Amino acid sequence: MIITPLAEALRRDAAVLLDAYRTHRWVPQPGERELADELARGRWDAQFLRAALRKVPPDARGGRLIDVLEPATEVFDQAADKVPAAVMLQLRVLVDALTTTP
């Protein structure tokens, strides 16, 4: 499967944010954790992601997580149900990390 430049940028940005989280260079706001919790419970597609992003808590609106997730809707739109596995995996690993560690 061919990864579009936007999909590759999304994968890379999610990996960078995960590294920043794991190395304590980024601490998510409570609203960003709420968003991650919401995402962890759903089926990942463009419609679900858009709905979750519409309900983003105010303290997460300007956060780094939203900067990674907003372009994901376009990637999901471009690829429909064929989002490259590497992209989906990196997003899921990031969300999982935020939901398992207080």
pLDDT tens figures, 4-18:
888 889 999 999 999
What whole-number distance in Å separates Cα of residue 58 and Cα of residue 92? 23
54-81 per-position pLDDT tens digit: 988 888 888 899 999 988 888 887 766 6
Question: Mean pLDDT across the chain, nearest whole number?
Answer: 87
Q: Give pTM, 2 decimals.
A: 0.87
What whole-number distance in Å separates Cα of residue 75 and Cα of residue 4? 8
Work out how many domains the chain is built from and give that number. 1
Render the burial of 69-96: b for 16+ CB within 10 Å, e for the rest.
Answer: beebbebbeebeeebbeebbebbeebbe
Host H or E run for residue 18: helix 5-22
Range 90-101 average pLDDT: 89
**Can you give the pLDDT at residue 21?**
97
Residue 33's domain comprises 5-100
Nearest to 72 by CA among 55, 60, 87, 93: 87
Tell me the residue length of the chain: 102
Q: Is the pLDDT of residue 1 over 50?
A: no
